[in-house]
Amino acid sequence: MQLKKNIILGKIKIQKIFFLIFLILIFNSKLFASDTNLVAIKILDKVSSKTSQLSLNIGKETKFENLIIKVLKCKNSEFDDNPEVTAYMQVQDITLKNNDKVFVFNGWTFSSSPSITLFDHPIYDIWLIKCY
């Protein structure tokens, strides 16, 4: 009789542990969102004709040469035919001393047509590649 009670209590404890693990996984979205907070961009240096590819964290500033780049949002399209990637990006040029709070670029960029919202800088061109 004692053995049956221990087996039943053991099953109940295991069920409670699995239920707690399930709740932790559901409510802890950072476990699943950590891989989707990156943006890939390409930067062309017009002077040296070199391209660099960067992976940026969404919401964090990244310094590249004389630019500070911050991506606030990034979204992949839900259509399979023609995938579109859009991102809201802010770029500051730290060589401009007149007002360091003014952005060189502040707006949405599109991977399929970067000329819609043009990033106009004398030295650098920036292209959005993908969100992942």
Contacting residues for 94 by C-beta, under 8 A, at least 6 apart: 63, 66, 67, 68, 100
Neighbours of 20 (CB within 10 A): 10
Helix (H) or strand (E) holding 8: helix 2-27
Q: Residues 5-30: pLDDT tens digits?
A: 555 545 556 667 766 566 566 655 44
pTM above 0.75, yes or no: no
Integer Cα distance of 115 and 93 in angstroms: 20
Q: Residues 54-112: pLDDT tens digits?
A: 999 999 999 998 899 999 998 887 766 667 888 999 998 888 776 656 788 888 888 88
